Every structure is written in structure tokens, then in C-alpha cells.
Chains A and B, each alone.
Chain A
Amino acid sequence: MIRLPLVLLFSALLFSAGVYGVLARRNAVMVLMAIELMLNAVNVNLVGFSAEIQDVAPQVFALFVIAVAAAEVGIGLAIVILLFRNRASINVDEVNLLKW
């Protein structure tokens, strides 16, 4: 059995990779994928703790997160498509209408 600290370490790395992706990538699809990374880091955490405390409740939460993430990706990709249609680009730096 894998020990909890290893799981948490992995989860933290995964989350950090996601944060980096969200903050640093300019491609909107890549940003969405980075968000998926962060969500999955949470899922790993939940599953890790589920094994630790011998309870299935965290796993149920993980399933919910997967479902919500799927929906979120659906909406996100739709936005990206509309963005591309309007701007012929999916570079998030160019989406800066909400300023002074």
C-alpha cells in the first residue's frame, strides 16, 4: 500500500502544475486542461484520504468532482469555440475587454 505522504506529495505537484498552467499558458484550451489538472489533484487527495480513513465518502465526493469537471469542460470548450469564431484566436491575452 502506498503511504499517504507520497500521495499528498504527488497531489501537490499535480496541483502546482495545474496552477502554473492556468497562470502561465496563453492558449485557452491549455488553460482549461490545467484546470482539469488542478481538479484531478483534488481527486487524488480525496481518494488518498479515503484509503487512509477506510471510508467511501471521499470517493463519492471525487465522483461528483469528475461529473462537475466534465460539465465545466463542456461549457469552457463552448466558450472557446465562440471566442475563436469571433476573434480567430484563442489567445487569452487578447481577451481583455473588461478593463478601464
Chain B
Amino acid sequence: MVGALGFLGAEGGAAAEAAAEIVRSAPNWFAQNAWLIPLLPFVSGALILFFGTRTPGKGAGFGILAVGASFLLSLGVLWSFVEGGGPYEKSVEWFTVGPLHLEAGVLVDGLTAAMFIVVTAVSLCVHVYSLGYMHGDSRFTWFYFVLSVFTGAMLIVVISDNVIQLMVGWEIMGVCSYLLIGHWFEEHQNSSAAVKAFITTRIGDVPMMFGFFALIALTGFTSTSFHAAEEAIGSSEASALFVSMAAILLFGGTIGKSAQFPLHVWLPDAMVGPTPVSALIHAATMVAAGVYLVGRLYTVFLAAEPWVLQTVGIIGAITMVGAAILAIAQDDIKRVLAYSTLSQLAYMVALLGVGEAGRNAAFFHLFTHAFFKALLFLGAGAVIHAVHSNNMSDMGGLRKPMPVTFWTMLIGSLALAGVFPLAGFWSKDELLVAAQHDQMWLFVLMLATAALTAYYTTRMVLRTFFGEYTGHGHPHEAPRSMTIPLVSLAAATLVVGFLGAPQAGAVFFDWVYLEHPEVIEFVPWIAGIGTLAAFAGIAIGWAVYKDRTVVDPMQRRLGRVWTVLLNRYYIDDLYMAAIVLPVRDRLSAFVYWTNQHILDGIVNGAAALARGLSRVVAWIDRTIIDGAVNGLGQITGESGGLLKYLQSGNVQWYAVALFAGVLVLSAFFIRLP
């Protein structure tokens, strides 16, 4: 019923809703056929798996073509919204369980279109980049296969119109993340980082699953779609407490996937994976899925009691500042970027806690951050490729041998620091405006984080590209397959900020079809104070690191604090001692003992009983039943052996018998009357 209604009436209904504000035209061909976009990477995944090793490009070509096509289609979808098209929704019934209709469907609105652009653009860059970075890798084809499947899964997440489909894509992403972190699983460190990532995100995914169940329960167990849940909440029959529980459970998925405190520990360790993977999965797309989840189901969070959004804000604030501080002490360039990603994601999460204005700003930041953070990771990958080390103490002076990497990374770094007029400036400015509007404490923390961000970014650039080279060998510029994505992403970083600039009409918010709150405006003093914070950070960074030394000068100055930072506030050690060791060693020993002695005892006892019983049955079968059957056969055989002598073959004997018979019958019939 719901499926049928969705099939016929969703377009009309959504269009009528939109008509209240702005008149939206019908979605164009691209939006109506958006299902092709997630399908293409899956098709290429299958092609790579079956034919990859036999084709000239070892399968990379399939992935690049498919993702490239998806990117072009995504541009078409975005065009639909640029032209003022309305959302497109269509679902078909998958199967029915009792009253519950499980559907497979697409929901293409502006948010989906923006996510499409992010995912396909970054994925395309990473696909091309990996040609150079993964060249000669022993599992090159497999790498491209997982990359393609991951892209498809992420696209499924953003296109789905119901919770079940979203969860399917979500979990495929998790598996791909696991496989790619452990791509070089020959080293034990890498495989345990993969396991850590998988299990840690799982801790968040379980509450999320129950959150989805709660949403389905809100619809009276009739539908799984987002719309049905939103309508059920809107009908105000749902108790606020129940909705709050659903919302906080859903937020568990965000904490896990977007690596927020206290489940942030997996993301820095995930950096042992290949750098293109870090750029695609652990910076631009998968980790942003947690933010997307909250944004997509924001109605639930708004309907919940206020403490839910406050929790969201507080978690975001803790991660934001905590991760930014950790980033200043890391020597591994990818870990610096990983903590930076945590911190930037936490910006978005914190702003999700502010309200609709914050949500809109958070999505714009998600959009811009994906580009410049992917750029920074790919740049870091080019550097690592050149010097064969992750540590910034082994780098330095790379500005001259690697000009393209240097300039593109400089653009990315300035964007991350929030310098006018790059992408990061505009989105961070809007975040600040939205925070200042509602929550002053958050605004202050964000300014502090902005300064820290500028500081550690400056540190990273100075320690990598300036001073004297202190590594081994002779680094040289990355191959063209790696520099082209860098330049493309740098160009995007220069441009995308203006999409959301209030002076340019903040067109992003029109396209993405977010409500147009009055706080998307340019407040000069906030922009000024934000820029001031950024330049303060850059200035301090410059002062500390302008004379590059192999050992970080802050290490001596901060002393014990530095040790705490290097040990990540001892949170990993705490988890190790409080959770991993008890579970892995004591609990598993206990479970092992239980298994060996109790469960095996029960099983063995049952088996022994069955053996004894079957022995009795076998005796009965062999002796009594077989005896009866064999006896019957023997009796028949022997009696036949005796009776055969009647068949003498002598015709005269037969005639005698015949005659005797006649005589008997005659006697019988004659005597009868």
C-alpha cells in the first residue's frame, strides 16, 4: 500500500510541499535515473573481479570509466536542482513481513545531489591517483575492486529512501574500509588496525540499528522509509522520550562512523592503509556519512527532547578541541591529517547540535572539507611516495623537488586553516555565524579550534616543504597520474567556497534545497575574528617552526604535556586496559573454558547417549528384523525346493493327477443331490 502510494504519489506530494515556498519544476532525466549512479561502480566492481587481471589496465580502467560516468551523471542531477527542479522519489516493494513493507527506493533531493558530487568527484580523483600510487602493488586489481564497491556502497547510502537500504550500504562501506585499511595485511600492525576500525565502528552501528528499529516502530511497523518515520513523528502521537531514545541511538552510528569521541580511536590507526584510501574513505566520504545520517534524519533530532541535540553538540565540541590539540604533536603526516579530519568532522557534528541553521552550515562544510581534505591526503600521499616515510622528521625542503605537490598542498592547507578566499574560509565562517547565533560557548571553542587548526597546518607545511631535506634518497615529483588529481582538487578548493558565499547569493543552499535561514549571512566582525584566529595560528606556527630542525622544538618546551599528547591522552591505553584486555584475555579465557568443559561436555554426553541407544537399535535390527526377513526367504526357498519334485516332467503323472481330480469331482457332484 505504502509502496504503491510512493510509486504513484511521491512526486506529486513532494512537489506540492515545495510549492508552499518556491515553485519547483519536475526533476530532469538525470534525477529520475539517478539509480544508475550507484549501479555503475558495482558493475565495474564485477567487471574488475572477473576480467580485471586479464585486461591491459589490470582493471583500473573499468573503475575510472564507471566512476567518471557516475560523476557526469551526478553533474546532471545537480543541474536539475540548479534549474530549480524538485526532489524525485520512487520506491518498489521488495518484500513484505506481516504489516511491514520493505522497499527498495531512491530519494533524490538536493542533499543527495551534493553528496553525489562529493563522492563521485573525490572517488574519481582517487581512482586516477591510485594508478600512480598503487603502481606495481601485488593486489592492484583487488584494490580497484574494493575501491569501486566502496564508491557504490556510499552512493547507495546517499540515494536510499529507507533505513534498511541505508544500513546495507553503510555496512558494505564498513567492510570495504576494513579491507582497505588492511590492504597490506602482511604487517601485523595493519591488520590489527583494520580489526580495530571494524570493531570500533561496530560498537556505534549496533545502537544505530536499534535506532532504525525504533523509527520503524514509530510507523507502527508498516514502513521503513524516512518519510513514513517523519510523518509518524509529525503526527505527535509518538512520545517525546521515545523519539529522543531513537535519536540518541541513531547518533551512535554517527559517533562510530564519523569517529567522534569516545569512539574516535580507530581513525588515526586507520592511516596505515594506502593513502588514496585515507583520502577517499577516511577523510572525504565514509566518515562524512555519519554527519549525513543525522542531517538526513534531522526531523527526528528536532522532535526529540533538547538534551539530545545538546549531547550531539557536546560530543562534537569535545572531539573538535581534543583532536585539534592532538594534531599538533604528531610526527606522522597522515596522523596529523587524521586528527585534523576528526576535528573538522567534529565541527560539523557540533553544529548539527545547534539547529537547522547549524545543520545547513555543517553540510556546506562537509561539502568543502571533502575537497580540501582529500587534496591534503593525496598531497601527503605524493610526499610519502617520494620519501618512503610517513614521518615529517624524514622530510623537509620538498618545496623545490616537488613544486606541484607543494603548491596544491599549500592551497589545501590554507583552505583548512580558513584563509580568505578559499573553500574553508566560507564554510567555517558560516559555521561560526550559526554557532554565534545560538551557542556562544561553542563559538568560542570553535575560534580556539580554528587557531589550533591554522597552527598545526602551518607546522605540517613548514616541516614538510621548508628547511633542509633530512630523509634518505633523492625525492622527485610524483607521476602525472598523481599530479592531475591534485591540481583538479586544488581547483575545486579554490572554487567551491563561493557556492556558499553569502555575497554570491549562497546558491549552494538553494540547490541543496535546505531551508534558507536568515543566519546564512555575512557578518563582518565574525569573518574578521575568524580570520584573526587563523592568522594568529599561522603566525605562532611560523614563529615556532620557521627554522626547521629534525626534532620538534615543542617537544622540549612542552615536556610532559607532549608525552601525554603523543600517547593520545592515554585513551587508547585506557581502552586497552579496561576493555580489550579483559575481553580478549579474561573473558575469552572464561568462554574458552566454558566451551571446552561445559558445552563440549554436554555435546559429548549427548553423543555418547546416542551411541549407546543406537547400539541397542542396531542389535534389534540385525537380530530380530533381519532374522524375520531372512527366515521368511529361507522358508519360501526350502518349501519351493521340496515342492519342485511334483513337477516331474512325466506327462503321464500329470494325467494321473488330472484323472484323480476328475474322479474326486465326479464323486462330489454325484453324491451331492
A residues whose Cβ falls under 8 Å from a Cβ of B:
19, 22-24, 31, 92-93, 95-100
Contacts and interface: CB of A to CB of B under 8 A. Distances in A.
Given A19-B659, A23-B656, A23-B659, A95 B651 contact: yes
B649 A97 contact: yes
Interface of B: 644-645, 647-652, 655-656, 659
A31 to B, nearest CB: 8
Contacts of A22: 652, 655
Nearest to A19: B659
A23 B657 CA distance: 10
A23 B655 contact: yes
Contacts of A24: 652
Contacts of B649: 95-99
Nearest to A93: B650
A98 to B, nearest CB: 5
Contacts, number: 29
Given A19-B659, A23-B659, A100 B647 contact: yes
17 contacts: A22-B652, A22-B655, A23-B655, A23-B656, A31-B652, A93-B652, A95-B649, A95-B651, A96-B649, A96-B650, A97-B649, A98-B647, A98-B649, A99-B648, A99-B649, A99-B650, A100-B644
Contacts of A93: 650, 652
A92 to B, nearest CB: 6
A47 B236 CA distance: 121
Contact of B652 (A23, A97, A99, A100): A23
Contacts of A23: 652, 655-656, 659
A60 B645 CA distance: 44
A97 B649 CA distance: 6
A89 B512 CA distance: 119
Contacts of B655: 22-23
Listed residue (A24, A92, A98) with the most chain B CB atoms within 10 angstroms of its CB: A98
A80 B651 CA distance: 15
Contact of B647 (A31, A92, A95, A99): A99
A96 B648 contact: yes
A12 to B, nearest CB: 13
B346 to A, nearest CB: 102
Contacts of A100: 644-645, 647
Q: Which 4 A-B pairs have the closest CB atoms?
A: A99-B649, A96-B649, A100-B644, A98-B649
A22 B658 CA distance: 12
Given A23-B656, A23-B659, A92 B648 contact: no
Contacts of B650: 92-93, 96, 99
B644 A92 contact: no
A23 B655 CA distance: 7
A62 B552 CA distance: 144
A23 to B, nearest CB: 5
Contacts of B651: 92, 95
A92 B652 contact: yes
Nearest to B658: A23
A97 B651 CA distance: 10
A100 to B, nearest CB: 4
| Residue in B649, B650, B652, B659 with the greatest tally of chain A CB atoms within 10 Å | B652
Contacts of A98: 647, 649
Contacts of A31: 652
A70 to B, nearest CB: 22
A36 B645 CA distance: 31
Given A92-B650, A92-B652, A98-B647, 8 more contacts: A19-B659, A23-B652, A92-B651, A95-B649, A95-B651, A96-B648, A96-B649, A97-B649
B232 to A, nearest CB: 90
A19 B659 CA distance: 9
A24 B649 CA distance: 16
A7 to B, nearest CB: 20
